[in-house]
Chains A and B, each alone.
Chain A
Amino acid sequence: MKLANALRAATAMSLLATGAVHAENLVIATVNNGDMIRMQGLTDDFTAKTGHTVEWVTLEENVLRQRVTTDITTKGGAFDIMTIGMYETPIWGANGWLVALDDLSAEYDVGDILPAMSGGLSHDGTLYAAPFYGESSMIMYRTDLMEAAGLEMPDAPSWSFIAKAARAMTDRDNEINGVCLRGKAGWGEGGAFITAMSNSFGARWFDEDWNAQFDTREWSDTLNFFVNMMTDSGPAGYATNGFNENLSLFQQGKCGMWIDATVAASFVTNPNDSTVADSVGFALAPDNGMGVRSNWLWAWALAIPAGTQKEAAAKEFIEWATSTGYIELVAANEGWANVPPGARVSLYENANYKDVPFAQMTLDSILSADPNNSTVDPSPYVGIQFAAIPEFAGIATEVSQEFSAAYAGQQSVEEALAKAQALTNDAMEAAGYR
């Protein structure tokens, strides 16, 4: 039989491959973000240092997530290193699917990783993924438009100030929208934004008995505030705007303010892509006077699936890619503004990096985010813009689809919340929480 022969040949080949211990070939799944693509370009440095070669599987975020989840739950072993986020890491770590990163070299200096990041990438105090870059969210605003509106942005503004400023800056005849925010369906897109925002309004996803909370006044306040503000001063069609769409609007000078990931700061201040590069200011994400701000916390991190036969080489790669050495390598090649931010304390102590205009605000935003105390009222989950339970991604995607339909005017805010409440409770019941 042809198949049998081919299988035998394939087995023989793989045996040969594992026989050669020293030069491994690592298969790495990663997301197609700018920092990762830069890393691919620098892989030669890793190969030169260690002799290991690397094959990249670069996928768009949603495809990547579905691809690596299928592989990890079935122990497929298709990848030696996976790029995952702060949401997946604690869940997978708890299931024993990831190799613990507890024996990294002294030279690597695990203690230098920002505590907020290592905390979010650990389970029971064990680190399971090393942050490649970390982010919070903050306000990016146009200093020129703010001045023209006769307003001054405080370092830590409130939502009511943002709404007022947004209305003052809006000039639809000249295609200037006061504020651009994510409305796009998807738990990592509009879902992440509205969840982080709701925290500052005193809302939460679940009460301590895992009952959905969308029937509360806090959620209704959040959503109504958001919709009213966006109707008055947001771009047309914001219901389909995600990170990318808003980035492009802001770079073209069509937004007065944009509240989004801190990593966007390097894009909007890059004169090659941004028409407004020299007039961008930064401020902490708004709050509502309730003690919780609306910024999130996220990291894209590298993890090793348990059961891989190339654990040693994979650890070498992770140490290379998330080290201070790598940051210096990028700085030498592309300048300090383009180094992967938000992962290491030492970066923010580096004199060169202090000149980067958004460095301090990024750090302040990250430091003000606490995944363990993300809500005003107590909640049973960890995470700011997500709840770190396996069911969350699916539920939040559906919930955010209902919200997006409300943003697009296809249903009222009340209808959206009622549907969100029902489907969340139903899914939690299916998962055995209630």
Chain B
Amino acid sequence: MARAVTPRRKMINTTLAWSVGLLIFFPILWIIVLSFKTEGDAIKTPIEVLTSVWTFESYLVVQDRSDYFKHFSNSVIIAMGSTLLGILIAVPAAWSMAFVPSKRTRGILMWMLSTKMLPAVGVLYPIYIGFIKLGLLDTRLGLIIVLMLINLPIIVWMLYTYFREIPGEILEAARMDGATLREEVLYVLTPMAIPGIASTILLNVILAWNEAFWTLNLTAAKAAPLTAFIASYSSPEGLFYAKLSAASVMAIAPILILGWFSQKQLVRGLTFGAVK
């Protein structure tokens, strides 16, 4: 219910919120600006930067130097693949935890989350050797599996909190009507769970897209995603602000756009059922 506010109050709110919003967004805005400048101009004072010529040069150089599309499609496939695989495995687990809870449910959940706290670098060597033996090194399949495992605890937990919001009476009613377990899941549960699953997918695509340890260390030429693309621009010889900005914009733009378009879904996803 909207509360009555004076226009003056609304004006103040608007000014304040926009200032804060722009301040938080500013670093991203600034690299977008720098990405359209020459290297020489990009290191000048902000006023000189804004008044200097605008150019696509950096984007052309970056495109010329690295195969952006290859890295981009690897990122898409790895992020999507690991998320979908994770969902497939997590849905049954979360379902059973939410609707047939036992004494150990909470313990299992916390334990799953705690697996995320293992320091990754400590097991780089064993995992790397395992990947060589399995032929998974520098393959998208290998990364899909690893990222799925890394994010599985979060997926299970998010789905669990959503499923718990689904009222149990509906399921019981369905059972009374003689629905089998399969029908129950397929026709009753799934439609109600779709919004939750959608936002879980979104959040995990973002997490997988931004993962930068395994994606860098387990790939070479074929499966390298955008995190590796960035690593070739991070500190070269000579001036590099404009090229780094352009590469950064190219690396974050897809996920930024996805995030913006699905903002409402995501808000739901991020709340983990914290709010009822």
Chain A interfacial positions (CB closer than 8 Å to B): 3, 6-7, 10-11, 14, 27, 29, 32-34, 37, 40-41, 55-61, 63, 66-67, 70-71, 74-79, 242-244, 247-248, 251-252, 263-264, 267, 273
Contact = CB atoms under 8 A, between A and B. Distances in A.
5 contacts: A3-B141, A60-B235, A67-B216, A77-B137, A252-B43
Contacts of B137: 76-78
Contacts of A243: 237
Contacts of A56: 66, 221
Central interface residue in B39, B125, B236, by most chain A CB within 10 Å = B236
B238 A34 contact: yes
A248 B232 contact: no
B134 A32 contact: no
A41 B61 CA distance: 11
Contacts of B235: 32, 60-61, 242, 244
B138 A78 contact: yes
Nearest to A248: B239
B216 A27 contact: no
Given A27-B220, A76-B128, A76-B137, A273 B239 contact: yes
Interface string B209-229: 000000011001110100010
Contacts of B224: 57
Given A273-B39, A273-B238, A60 B232 contact: yes
Contacts of A27: 220-221
Contact of B232 (A7, A32, A242, A264): A32
Interface string B30-68: 000000000110010000000000000000000011100
B236 A60 contact: yes
Given A32-B233, A70-B124, 11 more contacts: A27-B221, A32-B232, A32-B234, A32-B236, A56-B66, A58-B66, A58-B232, A74-B125, A76-B132, A76-B137, A244-B236
B220 A29 contact: yes
B66 to A, nearest CB: 7
A63 B231 contact: yes
A57 B132 CA distance: 18
Nearest to A30: B232
A248 B128 CA distance: 38
Contacts of A251: 239
A55 B231 CA distance: 16
B107 interface: no
B132 A75 contact: yes
Given A70-B125, A70-B128, A6 B238 contact: no
B190 interface: no
A66 B231 CA distance: 12
B32 to A, nearest CB: 22
B228 A33 contact: no
Contact of A247 (B124, B228, B237): B237
B158 to A, nearest CB: 25
A77 B132 contact: yes
Contacts of B138: 78
B139 interface: yes
B220 A247 contact: no
A57 B228 contact: yes
B237 A57 contact: no
Contacts of A79: 220
B194 interface: no
B40 A273 contact: yes
A11 B232 contact: no
B69 to A, nearest CB: 14
B75 to A, nearest CB: 16
Central interface residue in B132, B221, B231, B234, by most chain A CB within 10 Å = B221
Interface string B20-35: 0000000000000000
